[in-house]
């Protein structure tokens, strides 16, 4: 199973929809969690119980090419981690009307490579794609090419801390 993962707002759902329209079978991590009874609601948010899913998930029950979601790397052996420059990600999240705490939490996760590090711990094969300035169709083509083993995009090419340097305060607590 191939995961399309990354911090919320980087383009996973849009890219997954493009791949779905191309004929690939795509599921969302929440569908998998719901199937196994590992999904609950806390306020306005759906929460995946990863311990529950770990004990119940069977990849052979799923006929899919891709699993999408910021937790999808927990159930896959191959993945593409989508990344986005914090300045662009900030504008995307503001455009979606997200509250400041959610924006700050996700910006910090992106800056410190949180999803990438988790993916490296969980998946046998990890690719990293910088979506900054790319159209969703361009990113979908890259993901498809990696999935088909026509190309690779190994991790280690994105380093937001070095790139944003002294501007880091712009993207963390109290600076929106």
**Binding-site entries for ATP:** 9, 11-14, 134
Give the max Cα distance, the chain: 48
Residues comprising the binding site? 9, 11-14, 134
Question: Taking a C-beta distance cutoff of 8 angstroms, is the pair 70, 4 a contact?
Answer: no
Question: Taking a C-beta distance cutoff of 8 angstroms, is the pair 18, 82 a contact?
Answer: no
Question: Taking a C-beta distance cutoff of 8 angstroms, is the pair 52, 91 a contact?
Answer: no
Contacts of 132 (CB under 8 A, 6+ apart): 83, 84, 85, 88
């Amino acid at each position: 199973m191939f995961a399309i993962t990354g911090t919320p707002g980087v383009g996973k759902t849009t890219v997954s929809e493009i791949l779905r329209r191309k004929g690939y079978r795509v599921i969302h991590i929440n569908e998998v969690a719901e199937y196994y009874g590992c999904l609950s609601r806390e306020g306005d948010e759906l929460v995946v119980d990863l311990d529950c899913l770990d004990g119940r998930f069977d990849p052979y029950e799923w006929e899919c090419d891709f699993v999408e979601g910021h937790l999808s790397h927990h159930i896959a052996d191959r993945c593409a981690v989508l990344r986005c420059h914090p300045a662009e990600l900030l504008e995307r999240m503001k455009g979606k009307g997200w509250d400041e705490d959610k924006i700050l939490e996700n910006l910090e996760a992106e800056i410190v490579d949180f999803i990438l590090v988790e993916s490296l711990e969980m998946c046998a094969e990890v690719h990293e794609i910088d979506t900054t300035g790319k159209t969703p169709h361009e990113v979908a083509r890259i993901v498809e090419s990696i999935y088909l083993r026509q190309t690779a995009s190994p991790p280690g090419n994105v380093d937001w801390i070095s790139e944003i340097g002294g501007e880091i305060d712009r993207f963390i607590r109290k600076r929106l």
